[in-house]
Amino acid sequence: MIENKVVVITGASSGIGAATAKLLASQGARVVLGARREDKLAALTDEINDAGGQAVYRVTDVTKSVDNENLVQLAKDAFGGIDVMFLNAGLMPVAPMSELHVDEWNQMIDVNIKGVLNGIAAALPTFKDQKSGHFIATSSVAGLKAYPGGAVYGATKWAVRDLMEVLRMEAAQEGSHIRTATIYPAAIKTELLNTITDKAAGDAMQRTYDTYEIGADRIAKVVAFAIDMPDDTNVNEFTVGPTDQPW
């Protein structure tokens, strides 16, 4: 059941996060939106509420533990609790390692790995106490297969895969009834391409997206499917991409 579930979404201001927020709210979920861009968060929250949904937001930098904690607290204050934590914030400034974009490597590690860890740490105590909860994370096909130019991005997404799998195992061992789901999108229409500063890598990625890109609403439907599964069912991994591309 999606109706009345409280869903916290990071990276909610655009792309997969925004599409998921709108879809879940239309199905009766109460959504709590976090991202860095307040103007986009405010507009999205107004759009959802004007359409009859329920949404609140807080400006959130996932690299800061306190911001994640405040986002979870907002869910409790506004809607009385938290059922789902969708760890969706991410960056993708791909480039050959030989270009030594070290600052971008560190940014990806901070957002794509530490941001996920901070979100887990913020929600996990509540999930354990209530013996229920659902962590959903956005990884990537780059978390399943290596691609030239995607070494560091892929490494962060492999890390997400491992974190979520071990979290699932430990939850089962501890009997906490916490569910997990990891999503592996391919070429999805989002703002990720805007984070690529290396021109050659950006041009190559744009050509791929021009051929295979699908809408963020496709991922939103997968998130909704995962949440709507019976509470005693844990379907853990979803790979989503164009049917004509062997990702």
By DSSP bridging, strand 84-87 and strand 237-240 are: unpaired
Tell me if residue 153 is catalytic: yes
Question: Of 57, 153, 184, 209, which one is the catalytic site residue?
Answer: 153
Query: Which residues are designated catalytic?
Result: 153
